Structure 1
Amino acid sequence: MPAELTELDQQIIEILSADGRATIAHIASSLNIAPSTAHTRVRALIDRKLITGVHAAQNYAALGRGLQAMIGVTLRPGARQENIRLFADEVRGLPDVIQLFFVGGTDDFLVHIAVQDSSGVRRFVVDHLSARASVASTRTSMIFEYHRNAVAADFS
């Protein structure tokens, strides 16, 4: 825990991570502190960019996109810096993409998608990844179950 993050701050972050819609009154009651203290601490966490947003979790199955996959993408050598930027800028904007990770290791990127069915995965890989001259290979893994402990802020 960073030195400037108190135990109370950590508890507030945990409450808001579990339920981003938790009210100041709920936070205050849960931690046995005054609402004004809860408000001041939450505001300070936001101002210090320790809390960067509140997020809604989408039910992709209910939205007709019940199949999720993680696709490892390796780019071809040559003009890598330009290809990395271009790939990231174009792929992150595709509607099926939930998350895009620029990683080290075997893959250059991991692309997390949600689509209707296995044909949607195939279409995404063929139309949006394999068709790119900069892409050397892809590896697709279907996601059977997903558990998220927290929502991380962008690294930038």
Structure 2
Amino acid sequence: MSKNIREYAELDDVDRALLAALVADARIANNRLAARAKVAPSTALLRVRQLIDRGVVRGFHADLDPERVGRPVQAIVAIRLRAHDRRHIDTFTATVSRLPEVIQSFHVAGDDDYLLHVAVPSASALRDWILDKVTTNPAVAHSRTSLVFGHEPGHPGPL
């Protein structure tokens, strides 16, 4: 059994209740979080800290509306690398993670190597970004861009 599966099996009903409440509202007050999980506030605080220490909770994030922060044009950019060695992969991963236009980056299997969710101010800014940051990258062999017409954030599924 892999480590991730073993760790998932170690989540009990209290952990799952805490996680479900945090997914619904990461800013929930600890006393409300405890009430939802049916535990004492001190227990909720300790258990959340343990979930963070175990890497189950990776962080708490603000969910920004790209349009309201001046980046209304979103796209998914599929990237195929020239080579599939560790150096190219690590270099590309480090490069794209620092680009402010990239909302999310996925290293995937299949025809493409990466899927990048990007947000920019305009269609011309998207074109310039593709030309300046993607096609000129020496690790990139091919890219394909799809405009995003709508995006509904998901959730991790049943806990």
Q: State the TM bucket, normalised to the shorter chain.
A: 0.7 to 0.9
1:126: which partner in 2? 131
Return the letter of the residue paired with 2:71: R
SS of aligned partner of 2:9: coil
2:11: which partner in 1? 5
TM-score, scaled to structure 2: 0.84
1:63: which partner in 2? 69
Report the Cα offset of residue 134 of structure 1: 2.8
Report the Cα offset of residue 146 of structure 1: 1.5
User: Percent identity over the alignment?
Assistant: 37
Return the letter of the residue paired with 2:15: D
SS of aligned partner of 1:68: strand
Report the Cα offset of residue 83 of structure 1: 2.0
The more displaced of 26-35 and 66-75 is: 26-35
Q: Deviations over 1:119-154 (max 9, x none)?
A: 111111111111223322111011122222237xxx
Residues 6 and 86 of structure 1: CA distance in aligned 2, closer, same or farther (over 3 Å): same
- 2:47 aligned with 1:41, yes or no? yes
- 2:114 aligned with 1:109, yes or no? yes
Return the letter of the residue paired with 1:144: F
Report the count of equivalent residues. Answer: 150
Moved over 6 A (4+): none
1:148: which partner in 2? 153
Q: Deviations over 1:50-94 (max 9, x none)?
A: 2121111112111100111110011224x7432222222122211
- 2:78 aligned with 1:72, yes or no? yes
- 2:31 aligned with 1:31, yes or no? no
Which residue of 93, 96, 101 corresponds with 1:96? 101
- Aligned CA-pair RMSD: 1.9
SS of aligned partner of 2:66: coil
Structure with the larger helix share:
2
TM-score, scaled to structure 1: 0.86
Q: Which sections of structure 2, spanning at least 5 residues, go unmatched?
A: none
Report the Cα offset of residue 45 of structure 1: 1.7
Q: Deviations over 1:95-142 (max 9, x none)?
A: 111112221111111111110111111111111111223322111011
Tell me, in whole angstroms, the C-alpha distance in 2 between the residues paired with 1:31 and 1:81: 43
